Every structure is written in structure tokens, then in C-alpha cells.
Amino acid sequence: MKGVGTAGREASGRRRHEMRKGCHIAGRVLGAVCVALLLTVRISVDAVAYADVTASHTESSLCQMERARKKIQKLTCLPDAVRRTVDMNRRDRQIIDLAPGILTGYKVACLGDSITAGAGGTIDETGRLIGYCDYLSLILGCEVVNLGMGGTTVGDYFIENAFVNRYGQIPEDADIIILEGGLNDYQVFAQGLWNGFGDVENREPGTYCGDAYTLYQGLRDAYPNADVFVVTASRSYLETLYQSVEPYRLQDFMDVQRLYAKWMGFQVIDLYGMGFLDCREEAARERWLIDIVHPNAEGHLLLAERIASELVYYYSHQ
């Protein structure tokens, strides 16, 4: 039989044990609550940190785009046409890589001449020409509607399929419209087949200035929800061929397009002004053309990347 003293000590030990057990349970509960609170705070902190990192990355990408774009602008003064285009293309690809997928799901309509149609590019197994429009779709992951047609002009001088007569073929739901043309207009005038250049102020129908204005105004009014990008012609060897007979320079035709684009609020991708794909030099023609006008497969890819770079830059800053 245990003594009273021993029984008292055992009872006291049990009480201490129960107290320690209760404290342990309370500690575990409190610990769990603290862990939950810490996790909640950590998740919140992680979310904020992720948002900060994302914002920082976006800001960094935009800064890199700005640097690449400024570098492209500086390259326009390079006298070597081949090096100028190659260096511009390197910067174009940098800009494209900084915002992958930014135009996924967009519908792009390209209204143009034989260059837009793909003349000079590769031919697929069905016999279809593969040109810059196809590369543009692959680069940007967007739908591209090709409305290029060989031999067509901006103005309706005697060509039924002139741009001014068929811009209504552009889908109503187009998000972006790319307008490429004017080189054929220059050839028509340089060859003496038409002399109605017109005036940017009077804009008489049937003249280049008049029909170009009708086209640009029509695009603005018929497609108010689309962004229009005007792609000027590159500097061409045709300027050398026709310099002794031309009543107007290719530069004059491009000046009209730039002016009307400004009036209508369109964007301009100024290949002529930048000297991009300037094929007046023999080395450039041999590298990027199949003749004296049409790009080869590499030339079409360079053109696609130049346009894609401008689109990526524009929509990254909206």
C-alpha cells in the first residue's frame, strides 16, 4: 500500500503531465495558426513579388525595345545597304522575341501588289507562292488574309484591279490592315503610260494623288476599328533605270502616302526612308531579289520580320 506522501507525489506528477500535455496541444494549435498566418502572408508577399517581377520584366522588355528601335534609327545613315539591312534585321528579331504571342488571335489583312502576293518567294506543294504574308502569320501567330495581286496600282488609271477599286474586299472584322504599294504607279508614270500625278490638295479622281486619297479615306471610314499600317516601297533599282525619263521620283509617290497616312492617323513603316532592303546596289540585289524588283525567299522573310517588329513595338506600347 502506497503511503500518502507517495500518492500525493504521483497525483502532483499526473497534474504536471496533464498541464504539459495541454500546453503541448495548445502550442501545436498555436503553431498551426501561426504557420497558416505565415503562409497567408507568404502567399501574399509572393503574389506581390510576382507582380513586381512581371511588371519589372515588362518594363525591362519595353526598355530593350526602345534601345533596339533607337539602334535601328541610327542604322539608317549607314552607307552600306547590305550591312544596314542585316543590322536592322538583327534588331527586328530582338524586338519580336521580347513580346511573343502579343498578336495571337488577331486578323491581319494585307492589300498590295505582286510583292504582297508572294512573287519571288518559294512555292509550296500546291503551287502557291509563299511570301512575306505567310512568314508574318508564322512569326506573330495571327491570321493573315492575303489580298496581293500582281501588276496592280494604287490608282485607277486603266487597271481594273487597282487598290482604290478593291479595298472593299478586306474583311470587316480585320484588326490590322497592311497597305503595300506604289511601285507599280511609279513604273506606269516613268514609262510614260500615264501622266496624271495630280495634286495633294485638289485630289482629282483618276490621278495618283486623288485615288490615293480616296483609298486612304475609304479605309478609314469603312474600317474604323482597324489599325492601318502603310508600308512604303523600298528604294529600287528602277530609280536608276528611269532617272533620265521619269517625270516624278519614287520618293514623290512615297511622300504622298506618308502625308495621307498622317492625315488619316495611320501608322507608316517607312522602308524607303530607312533604306531597308535598298536594292539599288548590285550586292543587295544579288542577295535579296530574284530580278530587279521582287524579293527572293530571304528577302520576303526580312520584310516580314521588319513589319512584325513594327507591329510588336506598336502593340506593346498600347
Q: What is the DSSP string of 81-115?
A: HHHHHHHHHHHHHHHHHHSTTTTTT-EEEEEESHH
Boundary (domain end) residue, out of 51, 75, 99: 75
Residues 150 and 17 in one domain: no
Residues 97 and 18 in one domain: no
CB 146 within 8 A of CB 153: no
CA–chain centroid gap for 19, Å, is 72
Task: Please say if the pLDDT value at position 31 is more than 80.
Answer: no
pLDDT for 285 equals 95
Neighbours of 228 (CB within 10 A): 22
Q: What is the length of the chain?
A: 318
* Residue range 51-74: mean pLDDT, rounded: 76
Query: Which residue's C-alpha cell is 498590295?
Result: 112
Task: Please say if the pLDDT value at position 2 is more than 80.
Answer: no
The parent domain of residue 58 ranges over: 1-75
Side-chain-side CA neighbours of 6 within 13 Å: the count stands at 3
* Residue range 259-280: mean pLDDT, rounded: 97
Task: Please say if the pLDDT value at position 171 is more than 80.
Answer: yes
Residues 33 and 88 in one domain: no
* Residue range 167-176: mean pLDDT, rounded: 98
Task: Please say if the pLDDT value at position 222 is more than 60.
Answer: yes
Distance separating alpha carbons of residues 180 and 186, to the nearest angstrom:
13
Cite the beta strand spans of 107-249 per DSSP E. 107-112, 122-123, 129-130, 143-148, 176-180, 227-231
Kindly indicate the confidence band of residue 255, based on its pLDDT and cuts at 50, 70 and 90.
Answer: very high
Query: Which residue's C-alpha cell is 502569320?
Result: 137
* Span 125-161, pLDDT tens digits: 898 999 999 999 999 999 999 999 999 999 999 888 9
Residues 271 and 196 in one domain: yes
pLDDT for 242 equals 92
pLDDT for 34 equals 35
CATH code, 87: 3.40.50.1110
* Residue range 95-100: mean pLDDT, rounded: 95
Kindly indicate the confidence band of residue 289, based on its pLDDT and cuts at 50, 70 and 90.
Answer: very high
Q: What are phi and psi of 254, to 5 degrees?
A: -70, -35
Of 229 and 247, the structure prediction assigns the larger pLDDT to 229
- Give the residue among 235, 237, 232, 231 at the shortest CA–CA distance from 291: 237
Residues 142 and 231 in one domain: yes
The continuous run of DSSP H or E covering 63 comes out as helix 4-75
CB 206 within 8 A of CB 195: no
Residues 24 and 155 in one domain: no
- Give the residue among 132, 91, 269, 112 at the shortest CA–CA distance from 180: 112
Kindly indicate the confidence band of residue 53, based on its pLDDT and cuts at 50, 70 and 90.
Answer: very low
Residues 128 and 243 in one domain: yes
The region of weakest confidence among 158-162, 171-175, 225-229 is: 158-162
pLDDT for 44 equals 37
Virtual torsion, Cα 153, 133, 214, 164, nearest 10 deg: 50
Cite the beta strand spans of the chain per DSSP E. 107-112, 122-123, 129-130, 143-148, 176-180, 227-231, 267-269
Distances (CA, A) of 109 to 117, 119, 175, 180, 190: 12, 18, 8, 11, 29
Neighbours of 180 (CB within 10 A): 24
Angle at which helices 250-264 and 183-190 pack, to 10 degrees? 140
Kindly indicate the confidence band of residue 120, based on its pLDDT and cuts at 50, 70 and 90.
Answer: very high
Kindly indicate the confidence band of residue 307, based on its pLDDT and cuts at 50, 70 and 90.
Answer: very high
Residues 32 and 143 in one domain: no
Task: Please say if the pLDDT value at position 290 is more than 60.
Answer: yes
Residues 229 and 266 in one domain: yes
Q: How many domains does the chain have?
A: 2
Residues 107 and 14 in one domain: no
Distances (CA, A) of 288 to 252, 291, 296, 309: 25, 9, 6, 19
Residues 42 and 141 in one domain: no
